[in-house]
Structure 1
Amino acid sequence: MRAAKPAKASKNAGVLVVGLGRFGSALASTLEALGQDVLAVEKSPQLIAQWAGRLPLVEADATNPEALEQLGARDFAVAVVGVGSYLEASVLITANLVDLGAPQIWAKAISAEHARILQRIGAHHVVLPESDAGTRVAHLVSGKMLDYIEVEDGFTIVKMRPPREMQGFTIGQTKVTERYGVTIIGVKSPGLDFVYAAPDTRISANDLIIVSGHAELLERFAARP
């Protein structure tokens, strides 16, 4: 095990990111930019060389439980398994973190079957980046939505342009919740700050609106001219 850059991650509060592929490196660099304490673990010398000096990282094979033990993996608040393409490695690393008692384990999966395995062995959160991105983009290209986030159990938040029938009216006048079963939670007008929606908030054609509700209801609402 070799440190490529002195780790500045403060354990008990930091994030351990295992794997510096596209997912892991994007995650680690974003957390670093946000001021989070991060320590990345990667076994590929090529990736270590690519990221040395840019991230706090250690060259180690996380499929070896002793390597994770030496890193103090259990002391990090969150551990993320960014290895997805190699199923065996993904499962071994996740199992090692479970055995070490890591308090919060996030793991990347590349299929529904992979996700089920990770959940069964003890990962607390499993993400399928490609599947999630595909679902999100499908909603965006099929209508007027500009952004789409499914929270849980069908509850969704979208950013969109207001339907023509709402333009020039206040939210109270449109009765949008009564008529369509969705809720406008915020409005962003050009050149102005975002505001939380109120019954007297007036909607214009150039506004962006943030709307929440069940995915099916939002699809119908966004399909209005």
Structure 2
Amino acid sequence: MLLIVLELIGLAVFAASGALAAVRARLDLFGVVVLGLTTALGGGILRDVLLGIHPPTSLTTWTYLVVPVGAALGVFGFHPQVAKLRRAVLLADAVGLGLFTVSGTATALNTGVPAYTACLIGMTAGIGGGALRDLLLREIPLVLRREIYALAALAGAVVVVVGTRTGWPAALVAVVGATIVSAVRLVALWRQWNAPVAKGLER
């Protein structure tokens, strides 16, 4: 039940961020909904495909479709107000990253995969939707070019694996893991941390 609640919250947050990016790219209503769905469901679908869960959970449960569609429609209707809440959107995105990373890692562990596999799948679940969003907008995915995003997800996934394997309560693992991911992401934004890039290249 805890995983379901975390995923639904994450779906709404990621759908809103994808829909806002679509509005800024001047897509129509259909495009906004599609991009919102892709951002929300992409990471979970990638997770399920990697774990051999067919069909993916998000395509067999109606709430997993209704929640992101509702969030995308809300952003389409109130995008001027949403766009003004830049800090709130960044905070929501960081929280969504944490929630999806935690649920993805926990789901992977429940299938019996090795610890390192669970970490990689948890990270993929967290960043997958955003990467697909950027690709649909014909951009190099944000996680590949700047900012501490994937590394924050990986750190949280490691915490979830360690906490689960050492017998922490599931709720505590979820809270600590999601908090670490969100905190690392927000501190990186605040301090403008970026992963290093090759030097000496012409711009």
TM-score, length of structure 2 as denominator length: 0.24
What's the TM-score once normalised by structure 1's chain length? Answer: 0.22
Higher relative contact order (CA 8 A, sep 6+): 2
Greater helix share, 1 or 2? 2
